[in-house]
Amino acid sequence: MATERTQVGIIGSGPSGLFLSQLLHLNGIDNVVLERRSREYVLGRVRAGVLEQGTVNLMREAGVQARMEREGLPHDGFNIALDGELHRMDLKARVGGSVMIYGQTELTRDLMDARTEAGGRLLYEAEGVGIEGLEDDRAILRYRHDGADHTLECDFIAGCDGYYGPSRQAIPKDVLREYERIYPFGWMGLLSATRPIAEELVYARHPRGFALCSMRSQTRSRYYVQCSKDDRVEEWSDDRFWDELRSRLPGDLAATLETGPSIEKGIAPLRSYVAEPLRYKRLFLAGDAGHIVPPTGAKGLNLAASDIHYLSRAMIAWYHENNAALLDSYSDNCLRRIWKAERFSWWMTNLLHTFPDTNPFEHRMRDAELDYLFSSEAMMTAVAENYIGLPY
């Protein structure tokens, strides 16, 4: 069995794992990334595309901003459709900020290419990753790669391996606390090579259910409609999807919808989830390994980036200054921001979706909340502040 040594072992090559690997590399900290899937599989996952300013800044810090700044679409606002009308939330006017439309797949590719060009150690199809020795002087990662068993000794392990990975499971049950809300619906999503329906994102509330009109570029659109959590993708033909989307949008907007064959379709369940703490001994959780938000508030990828903001600085302080203060405060620092983002995503989800068990009083409360939002500068400012991302 081959035994190797590194300073930081990173499990998972999604955005959080790659961000951390790149930032550590730029600061002279050795690391190895283990990914159970193939490189092609990781790049084939279609995910979010709304970047907060903090995530944009992290791309620049990581030195991988060139394509994003060339191809990304800055948005100064977004729209909410209700009762046949569009209401614009002006981010720039209210909080002086904006968001960047740039697909998670493209961000992942940029980071992956940077690590490869720098000779980074990214091991794809690393199977059966196991974690040992968290309470010892060195933590150990055991895995199988290219038909051989390997041992990787680490100072620290970063669990960037998603909700179903082994990292969170390595935290003792009497230490780990979990908080969860499962929503009684899903999102049916469709990607098409069509012109976006609007210049900015459109969130729609309708009696038939929520809808979202998003984009990946000026020639590629991403659309979603709320569906039953029991629906299957094969039940949704392209024609059915386009008809349902049109029915949930204001008539004049629906009339401009450009349709075409789907490039990709899928149904995503919605949940809110937080694990506490995000650190156990030599193990640190980041991204979906520690928290999940419903996509309504566009916070999932951005929370992963903010975790890495805190974790990279903590590890740099340890290796450069022998200062453990940021390592010790990592979980608390992350969780303060995570819970605020969870609140905003939960609020947006409850405000804009149709719930099967909503009674007439609750329905009118949602109407009143939206009416207040559209008529209050203070409320619109609060929404804008949360949407562009709270400060780190």
pLDDT digit string, tens, across residues 98-118: 999 999 999 999 999 999 999
Q: Which CATH architecture best describes the domain 184-270+354-388? A: 2-Layer Sandwich (3.30)
| Residues annotated as part of the active site | 75, 203, 295, 299, 387
On the CB side of 299, how many CA atoms lie within 13 Å of its CA? 30
Amino acid at 171: I
**Average of pLDDT values for 22-43?**
96
**Dist. CA 95–CA 89, nearest whole Å:** 11
The letter for the amino acid at 390 is L
Return all residues near 58 (Cβ < 8 A) that are at least 6 apart: 19, 23, 305, 308, 309
Q: How many CB atoms lie within 10 A of CB 34?
A: 26
> What value does the mean pLDDT of the chain take?
96
What's the confidence (pLDDT) of residue 48? 67
**What per-residue confidence (pLDDT) applies to 283?**
98
Q: How confident is the model at residue 175 (pLDDT cuts 50, 70, 90)?
A: very high
> Does 27 have pLDDT greater than 90?
yes
CATH superfamily of the domain spanning 2-73+99-180+271-349: FAD/NAD(P)-binding domain (3.50.50.60)
**Which positions ≥6 away from 81 have C-beta within 8 Å?**
87, 202, 203, 204, 205, 206, 211, 249, 250, 253
Domains 2-73+99-180+271-349 and 184-270+354-388 in one fold: no
Residue 1 confidence (pLDDT) above 80: no
Q: pTM higher than 0.85, yes or no? A: yes
Give residue 305's pLDDT: 98
Q: How far is Cα 7 from Cα 209, in angstroms, rounded to an integer?
A: 49
C-beta separation of 202 from 245 below 8 A? no
What is the mean predicted confidence (pLDDT) over 89-93? 98
Q: Give residue limits of the domains in the chain.
A: 2-73+99-180+271-349, 184-270+354-388
Residues 6 or more apart in contact with residue 145 via CB below 8 angstroms: 123, 125, 126, 127
Is 209 a residue whose pLDDT tops 90? yes
| Per-residue confidence (pLDDT) for residue 228, from 0 to 100 | 96
Strands 85-90 and 77-82: antiparallel
Pairing of strands 279-280, 262-276: unpaired
Give pLDDT, residue 378. Answer: 98
Q: Phi and psi for 39 in degrees, rounded to 5?
A: -60, -40
| Averaged pLDDT for residues 327-356 | 97
Nearest to residue 242, comparing CAs of 285, 195, 282, 192?
192
Name the strand (E) or helix (H) holding 348. helix 325-352
Higher per-residue confidence, 357 vs 375: 375
In this predicted model, what pLDDT tens digit does every residue of 114-150 receive, in sequence order?
999 999 999 999 999 999 999 999 999 999 999 999 9
pLDDT number for residue 46: 65
Question: What number is the average pLDDT over the span 160-173?
Answer: 97
229-264 pLDDT, tens digit per residue, is: 999 999 999 999 999 999 999 999 999 999 999 999
Single out the residue of 216, 194, 218, 225 nearest to residue 105, CA to CA.
Answer: 216
Distance from C-alpha of 302 to C-alpha of 308, rounded to nearest angstrom: 10
